[in-house]
Structure formats: C-alpha cells, structure tokens
Amino acid sequence: MSAVLRLADAASVGDLGRFAARARAVDDEGAMRLQADGEVLAAWVGVLQGSGILAEGTVLGLRTFALAEPAECDAVVPLGAVTDRTARADGSGSFDLPPTRALAAWSAVTPPRSGWERAGEVSADVLADAARSGLEQVSAAVRERGAAAGFVRDRVWGEEAVPGVRAGGAFAAFSLGFLRPGSVVSVWRSNRWTRVTATGGHVLMR
C-alpha cells in the first residue's frame, strides 16, 4: 500500500481537505475511505447509515482526484486526520496517508463501478431546497424530542425529494458542497443503487 499519495497539485490537496471538512461538519467522528488503483484517488465519506443486511438507506459521498503518480491503497481513516494533514500540506501536492485507521460500517458497502444507466436529470436548486426543508424539519424535531428525534430524521431523509431521489441524497449533495446554483444534476441507476452526479461530486444511495 502506498504510504504517500501524490495528487496532481497543491490545489487538489486543498480540495481534499475541504471535502473532509464538509463531511466532518455532518459527522465530527466520521471517516473517509481512500481508494487508489492507478492514477485516480476515490475519496468516500458516509453521510447516512443504512440498516439491515442489505444496508438499505445508505447514503455515500464521493469525490475523485487525479494522481501525479500511480498508487495503490484502500484505507479507512478518521476525517480529523485528513483535515489535519491537508492543513499542514507543504504545497508539493503530496498527501501522507494517516497511519490511524477508523471503523465505519458503510465502508463495507461497495457501489458498482459499471452497469449504470441514465435515469434523468434534476435541477440542483430543487435538491438544495429539499435539503434545506429537511434540515428545518430535523432541527425542529431535535429541539422538541431530543434523542428521540431519530425516527423523524429517518422519515424525513427517506422521503423522495424528486421522483427516484430520496431527500437524504439531496442532503448529502447539499452538505458536501456538490450543488452549484443553477446547474443540472444527472441521475443514474444500477440495480439497488442510485447515483446523483453533480458539479462537485457524486452521491450514491442504496
């Protein structure tokens, strides 16, 4: 496994850090799965946990980064370790893989790499509005019910933002900064998975 990942440039390291920071705002104790096989780094984060044997309800965020040198790695590391290292980057484009490993149930759920079929498109603004509405509902439930608000949270994010795309996917795309105002987002399907591809990255839902 490569101990050092050499991204295309210093700006890419900064982008990786910002991605980790946004994911950390959703879950401060969260993790990132870093997968590299060749000249592309896939950085995964878990936004919503699934349940049951099939992990239904899982929502993941994905960004990919070009590597200046081929590398091989597959490691799940704390988000805090990623933000710490990117904050101390030396400007060379190098990213030292954190030695600390994290446990994340979602990291065992791997979406398909192929077999995707286009299923339509949706306005990024519509998804952003759905995410804001959901956040208001969840925040109100937390204020009223405290720890018992989990049922409301699951219901809100399980509803459809638009036909075929759950509100949890809209929340992920909005929270991770994937939605550029005025842009169009494409929707793809493969078996039990739905992928939302936006300007800033991908959201995958099971």
d(Cα 63, Cα 148) in Å, to the nearest integer? 33
**Tell me, what's the pLDDT at 148?**
61
> What are the mean pLDDT values of the chain's consecutive 10-residue runs (206 residues total)?
92 98 96 96 95 86 97 97 96 95 92 94 98 94 74 90 96 98 98 96 97
**Tell me, what's the pLDDT at 1?**
78
- pTM (2 d.p.): 0.93
CA distances from 27 to 18, 36, 49, 78, 95 (A): 14, 24, 11, 11, 22
Q: Which helix (H) or strand (E) holds 162?
A: strand 160-162
Domains of the chain: 4-108 (3.10.150), 117-187 (no CATH)
Q: Count CA within 13 A, CB hemisphere, residue 41.
A: 26
d(Cα 178, Cα 119) in Å, to the nearest integer? 19
**Tell me, what's the pLDDT at 53?**
76
**Which neighbouring-strand residues pair with 193?**
190
